[in-house]
């Protein structure tokens, strides 16, 4: 209800005293933060500028041209020739849901290799779809061997096997070589979560034989969250076409989305053009830097961070051979209030880092050096701030 002559709600219309009245809402002025957590990561200024361009209609030929550019750039970054390469409107979880919901029907078998929070999520989400999930678990921070994956797939004979390439909850990087061959030999599809790896760590969709992969715009691709790149192999698309029922969720139906992105462009949803601009510009930056140089930058800055943390007497959670260059887990020293350190980093230094999840809650901090955030200056600033806080306590 509005009072006459005003579009603002009358004072006594407010249901509770806590409800903010429009007149109290100040112009947007978010605090400045250096985002060195598990995501989102700092957004490159060129991506920020791209987002400020005026929106376009979702069927405008100019926007469709930008989608085609984006698909092409994504194929390059995913290292695939898959025609079905696009971005789902939504965050990384939307990509996970789109891939699993498009591939799996109720009753379909799925082996999930879970050694962390996101592996567990894949299993949970697939169960909701009605898939028959076989979960293979390992301690958080470990990775799976080819033999372990093969044994699970041979025993369960599933429709697909899913694995997290870079497990953001633990900091462990899963070796992917040979997994596609194993899955295919047993008639299964290989699904990979590449949310924290794409654009920061080598990803070889075709080389590894991955049939379906998803990522997110806000980790190593240097954009804001809101777009989830997805790619499907011809084999995955055949499996989708052979479904007896339509995909789990209409909005996340990858065949409908492929039609909109790369087919006859039939209206599916009103894609957010600023987010398309952002993803396209983020991908242009990746290609401009060159993938090899970008991976090398992520590796070099991560190694500097690891050396610095160890020099401070801190222990890294993951064995050197399996660390993700874009996400480091460092153990919280005995007697330190981990939450207080994160709060002080944020309030005194404007730096965000992440807390541990699940069994690692309270035990590790998670430090992301992703995309535009992977800079030597950021490593030095974080190390100095952390050393200062740990010395002062």
Ligand X SMILES: *Cc1c(COP(=O)(O)O)cnc(C)c1O
Nearer to ligand X, 205 or 383 (CB): 205
User: Smallest distance, Å, CB 168 to ligand X?
Assistant: 3
Window contacting ligand X (CB under 6 A); options: 85-93, 99-107, 184-192, 232-240: 85-93
Q: Is 385 exposed, middle or buried (0-12, 13-18, 19+ CB in 10 A)?
A: buried
The answer to whether 328 contacts ligand X (rule: CB under 6 A) is no
Window contacting ligand X (CB under 6 A); options: 51-59, 89-97, 178-186, 338-346: 89-97
Among left, alpha and beta (phi > 0; psi -120 to 50; other), residue 90 is left
Nearer to ligand X, 92 or 199 (CB): 92
Helices (H) and strands (E) in the chain, counts: 13, 14
Among residues 93, 249, 291, 390, the one that binds ligand X under rule CB under 6 A: 93
Among residues 39, 101, 109, 229, the one that binds ligand X under rule CB under 6 A: 39
The answer to whether 85 contacts ligand X (rule: CB under 6 A) is no
Token pair in block for residue 33: 């933060």
Q: Rounded to whole angstroms, how far apart are CA atoms 277 and 70?
A: 9
Taking the CA atoms of 191, 192, 193 and 198 in sequence, report the sign of the dihedral they define. negative
Among residues 80, 120, 168, 326, the one that binds ligand X under rule CB under 6 A: 168
Nearer to ligand X, 225 or 328 (CB): 225
Nearest residue relative to ligand X (C-beta): 92
SS3 70: helix
Could you say which residues in the range 186-205 bind ligand X, by CB under 6 A?
193, 195-196
The residues with which 344 forms a beta bridge, in sequence order, are none
Residue with tokens 């600023």: 274
Angle, in degrees to the nearest 10, between helices 338-349 and 376-392: 120
Q: Give me the half-sphere count of Cα atoms (radius 13 Å) on the Cβ side of residue 142.
A: 11
Nearer to ligand X, 91 or 299 (CB): 91
Q: How many residues of this chain interact with ligand X, rule: CB under 6 A?
A: 13
Among residues 225, 231, 233, 329, the one that binds ligand X under rule CB under 6 A: 225
The answer to whether 390 contacts ligand X (rule: CB under 6 A) is no
Token pair in block for residue 219: 């980790």
Q: Rounded to whole angstroms, how far apart are CA atoms 79 and 295?
A: 14
The answer to whether 216 contacts ligand X (rule: CB under 6 A) is yes
Give rounded-to-5 percent helix, strand, coil for the chain. 45, 15, 40
User: Smallest distance, Å, CB 107 to ligand X?
Assistant: 25
Nearer to ligand X, 93 or 381 (CB): 93
Q: Rounded to whole angstroms, how far apart are CA atoms 222 and 27?
A: 26
Q: Is 239 exposed, middle or buried (0-12, 13-18, 19+ CB in 10 A)?
A: buried
Nearer to ligand X, 160 or 383 (CB): 160
Give the x/- contact pattern for ligand X in 114-153, rule: CB under 6 A. Answer: ----x-----------------------------------
* CB neighbour list of residue 89: distance below 8 Å, 6 or more residues apart: 226, 227, 228, 269, 271, 272, 275
Nearer to ligand X, 56 or 92 (CB): 92
The answer to whether 164 contacts ligand X (rule: CB under 6 A) is yes
**What are the residues binding ligand X (CB under 6 A)?**
39, 91-93, 96, 118, 164, 168, 193, 195-196, 216, 225
């Amino acid at each position: 209800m509005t009072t006459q002559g005003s579009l603002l709600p009358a004072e006594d219309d407010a249901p509770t005293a806590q409800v903010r009245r429009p007149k109290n809402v100040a112009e947007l002025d978010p605090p400045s933060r250096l985002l060195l957590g598990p995501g989102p990561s700092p957004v490159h200024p060129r991506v920020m500028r791209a987002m400020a361009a005026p929106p376009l209609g979702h069927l405008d030929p100019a926007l469709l041209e930008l989608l085609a550019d984006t698909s092409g750039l994504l194929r390059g970054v995913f290292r695939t020739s898959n025609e079905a390469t696009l971005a789902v409107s939504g965050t990384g979880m939307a990509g996970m849901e789109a891939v699993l919901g498009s591939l799996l029907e109720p009753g379909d078998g799925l082996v999930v290799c879970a050694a962390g929070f996101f592996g567990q999520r894949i299993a949970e989400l697939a169960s909701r779809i009605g898939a028959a999930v076989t979960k293979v678990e390992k301690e958080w921070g470990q990775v799976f061997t080819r033999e372990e994956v093969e044994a699970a797939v041979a025993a369960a004979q599933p429709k697909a096997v899913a694995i997290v390439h870079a497990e953001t909850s633990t900091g462990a990087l899963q070796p992917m070589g040979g997994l596609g061959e194993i899955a295919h030999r047993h008639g299964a599809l290989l699904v990979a979560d590449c949310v924290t790896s794409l654009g920061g760590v080598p990803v070889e969709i075709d080389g590894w034989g991955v049939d379906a992969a998803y990522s997110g715009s806000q980790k190593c691709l240097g954009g804001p969250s809101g777009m989830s790149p997805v790619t499907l192999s011809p084999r995955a698309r055949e499996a989708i076409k052979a479904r007896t029922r339509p995909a789990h969720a209409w909005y996340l139906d990858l065949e409908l989305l492929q039609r909109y992105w790369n087919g006859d462009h039939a209206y599916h949803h009103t894609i957010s053009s600023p987010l398309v601009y952002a993803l396209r510009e983020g991908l242009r930056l990746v290609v401009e830097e060159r993938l090899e140089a970008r991976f090398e930058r992520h590796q070099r800055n991560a190694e500097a961070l690891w050396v610095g943390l160890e020099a401070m007497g801190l222990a890294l959670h993951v064995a050197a051979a399996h660390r993700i260059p874009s996400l480091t887990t460092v153990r919280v020293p005995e007697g330190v209030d981990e939450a207080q350190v994160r709060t002080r980093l944020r309030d005194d230094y404007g730096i965000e880092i992440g807390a541990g999840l699940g069994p690692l809650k309270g035990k590790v901090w998670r430090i992301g050096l992703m995309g535009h955030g992977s800079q030597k200056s950021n490593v030095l600033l974080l190390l100095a701030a952390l050393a200062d806080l740990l010395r002062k306590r």
